[in-house]
Amino acid sequence: MKPESKFWDKIADKYAKSPIKNMDAYEQTMSRTRAYLNKESRVLEVGCGTGSTALLLAPELEHLTATDISGRMIEIAQGKATDQAIDNITFKQAPMPDPSLEAKTYDAVLTYNTLHLLTDLPGALRCVQKTLKPGGVFISKTPCLKEQTSLWAIPLVLARLLRLAPYVNLLKFADVDRAIASAGFEIVETGLYPAPLNHFVVARKISSD
């Protein structure tokens, strides 16, 4: 497994115990996400962490595959699904881009708080585009740290050198929108949940490949 997984393995148990920071923004994100899903939806969640979102959405879907680069995150998520007797989620340790994803498989792909952590964003978005069915939707929410101040970069680079922080891509909203559109999507909705940095995007796959 890739070296990026080590950081997330190490913090997974602490992450599992940390409460959602802004519940109103989370509920808004979930409400806009639910508008694109139904009982027949087959969904992939990328960077599922300890599975909190997957466990909430799965009972409203046909099936959810939830992946994460961290084996420990997946272990915790699977434990919670077993405890709650939710049996329509497949948790899988996998990186993004994930070469094992098959073409035209999912009605929707979700990723919350993860796109800015990917070292190969264009490759990941091509992979998402390929695995969506024609007309399928990609739903993401991404902290865009470059919208605020470039001073983020200094502590982040230092923390990264000391292995106290993961790789973080400092993005602007327009960088995310451009990368998504370049991978073969039409953006249908955007929002800020919460403002000022967390950029919510829903984009529809435009090709039939």
Ligand X SMILES: C[S@@+](CC[C@H](N)C(=O)[O-])C[C@H]1O[C@@H](n2cnc3c(N)ncnc32)[C@H](O)[C@@H]1O
CA pair distance 179, 206, nearest whole angstrom: 14
> What is the β-pairing status of strands 132-143 and 106-112?
parallel
Tell me the site size for ligand X, rule CB under 6 A. Answer: 17
Angle at 163 between CA 121 and CA 176, to 5 degrees: 20
55 near 16, Cβ under 8 Å? no
* 3-state SS track over 145-176: HHHCCHHHHHHHHHHHHCCCCCCCCCCCHHHH
Round to whole Å and give the CA distance between 79 and 63: 18
Regarding 193 and contact with ligand X (CB under 6 A), the answer is no
Shortest distance, position 61 Cβ to ligand X, whole Å? 16
**β-bridge partners, 186:** 204
Q: Should residue 115 be labelled a site residue for ligand X when binding is judged by CB under 6 A? A: no
Regarding 105 and contact with ligand X (CB under 6 A), the answer is: no
In the complex with ligand X, which residue's Cβ is closer, 159 or 206?
159
- For ligand X, which residue of 105, 113, 169, 190 counts as binding (CB under 6 A)? 113
Task: Please identify the residue of the shown chain whose CB is closest to the bound ligand X.
Answer: 49
Per-residue binding string, ligand X, 71-90, x by CB under 6 A, is --x-----------------
Distances (CA, A) of 78 to 18, 52, 97: 18, 11, 22
66 near ligand X, judged by CB under 6 A? no
Among the residue ranges 107-115, 148-156, 178-186, 193-201, the one whose residues contact ligand X (CB under 6 A): 107-115
Q: Which is nearer to ligand X, 78 or 206 (CB)?
A: 78
Told to check if 95 binds ligand X by CB under 6 A, we report yes
Residues that bind ligand X (CB under 6 A): 4, 8, 46-49, 68-70, 73, 95-96, 112-114, 117-118
